[in-house]
Structure 1
Amino acid sequence: MTTYTTLAAPVEHRLTEKNSDFLTFLQPVTDREIALQWLQHYRERYKDANHVCWAYIIGNTRQPLTQAFSDDGEPSGTAGKPMLHVLTERELGNTLAVVVRYFGGVKLGAGGLVRAYSAAVSQAANLAELTTVSPQSELTVRVSFAAEARLRQMLQQYGGEVLAIRYQQQVEISIRLPEQAEDEFMQQLNNLTAGQAQIITPSCSK
């Protein structure tokens, strides 16, 4: 899993195309349930709209955990799929895009709809502030009491954090740190403890 970008904050944008208004909302989301909750929010907020089309990507856009889209009554393939395509091309992971359309009386045709929904999301993406998401590893290590303070210092240097700690015959510390730093961190820890540090649970990407 590689580093990817997502929204730092929600975005709203309005596009008018041949008298139709396209209201676009980009919302940061971390799982499918949250995406669907936000979708319901917009459906209720804009009950009088002709269409509430949407697309979301959870995780990295190149290797998504899950993704989905809906044309919500527009001709098949003219709304949700183009919206999803823009999210992918702009590398907006963990993002829900909702486009609310108020029909203005002039039909756009299939090609016109694809262009309008694509432009609506693309122009909203132009306004977005982005943040980088780095995959994290979680693991539990066992070290001597003497090594605990130094381990904590090293963890800070690598941008990690302590999740839990248990004092037994030795110290068991559950930690989270950037996946890309895991190998180097463990090498330094082994050097510090002369190879005495033990990993007692395997790492897992989050």
Structure 2
Amino acid sequence: MPDRDTTSPPTNLVPAAPARAEIRVVNSRFIASIAPAASVDAARAFIAAVRAEMPDASHHVHAYLIGHGATTTLGASDDGEPPGTAGRPTLAVLRGSGLGDTALVVTRYFGGTLLGTGGLVRAYGDAAKAVLAIVPRAEKIERRVLELVVEYGAYEPVRRLAAAHAGSILAEQFAADVTLQVRLPLAQLAAFTRQLEELTAGRARVAELPDT
């Protein structure tokens, strides 16, 4: 089960895209794969995808860190390596990276030479460092999704208003009125709704939806 961590420093950086790096230690290959993961389910799906991509590997060691700020959810697995030699050092490197909402898998192809406890710790930690050195990073922007019901005459002005507040239109439906789903940065939400009320003379109907 994931445990809760309340000691990590605040961060709002996430991987901007997946990345992969490979190192060789003696005769073993260590392939580190990293991706953004906004939930434990997303992290598990990424781990499963890496396993499916390289089913003949000896081990798929993973670590994930979900969330930002004072509370994060952590997870790690040695995946058959000696306890404490793989998942823990991989997670330690991830925690020191400044990233949140991240899943990391280090896949090992055993080369026939035992590395020992210290060698495994260094190898998994170095593989994690290698991929963290190249993964692109971006600031995580918290967003909200609004469902708007407006009259036809307000349709184009509302689209322009959303664009002016860095919003994106997710869906539109045309019936007696126009229904739009708009995703907006949280920082823009108050100004957008205030200007929407002015634009529509208070006739727009607004509801917040889950952001999936």
TM-score range, shorter chain: 0.7 to 0.9
Contact 2:34 2:131 (8 Å CA) reproduced? no
Q: Aligned runs of 1:185-196 on 2, under 5 Å?
A: 185-196=192-203
Which residue number corresponds to residue 153 of structure 1?
160
- 1:120 shift after superposition: 1.7
Deviation string, structure 1 residues 166-190 (Cα, Å, up to 9, x no partner): 3344322122222332222112212
**TM-score of the pair, normalised by structure 1:** 0.77
Residue identity opposite 1:108 in structure 2: G
Quote the RMSD (CA, aligned, Å).
2.8
Match of 2:198, SS state, is helix
The alignment status of 1:180 with 2:192, answered yes or no, reads no
CA distance, structure 1, for counterparts of residue 195 and residue 95 of structure 2: 37
How is 1:1-206 mapped onto 2 (pairs within 5 angstroms)?
A: 3-16=12-25, 19=26, 21-28=28-35, 30=37, 31=42, 32-42=44-54, 44-46=55-57, 49=58, 51-57=59-65, 59-60=66-67, 68-90=75-97, 91=99, 93-102=101-110, 105=113, 107-109=115-117, 111-199=118-206, 201-206=207-212
Pair 8,33 (structure 1): closer, same or farther in 2 beyond 3 Å: closer
**Offset at residue 103 of structure 1 (A):** 5.0
Q: Where does the alignment leave 5 or more consecutive residues of structure 1 unmatched? A: none
TM-score in terms of structure 2 length: 0.76
Displacement, 1:139? Answer: 1.6
2:82 partner letter? P
1:118 offset after TM fit, Å? 1.5
Q: Once the 2 structures are TM-superposed, how far is the Cα of residue 152 of structure 1 from its aligned partner?
A: 0.3
Matched-pair contact (CA < 8 Å) for 1:71–1:80? yes
> Which letter does structure 2 place at the counterpart of 1:202?
E
The alpha-carbon deviation at position 61 of structure 1 amounts to 5.3
Letter in 2 for 1:152: R
> Any stretches of 5+ residues in structure 2 without a counterpart?
1-10
Determine if contact 1:3/1:135 at 8 Å carries over to the other structure. Answer: no
Partners of 1:205 and 1:3 lie apart in 2 by 18
Instruction: Count residues in correspondence.
Output: 195
CA contact (8 A) 2:173 2:180 kept: yes
Instruction: Tell me the distance in 1 between the aligned counterparts of 2:53 and 2:27.
Output: 22
Contact 2:63/2:75 (8 A) holds in 1: yes
% of aligned pairs identical? 26
Provide the C-alpha distance between the structure 1 equivalents of 2:115 and 2:104, rounded to a whole number of angstroms: 26
Counterpart amino acid of residue 151 in structure 2: S
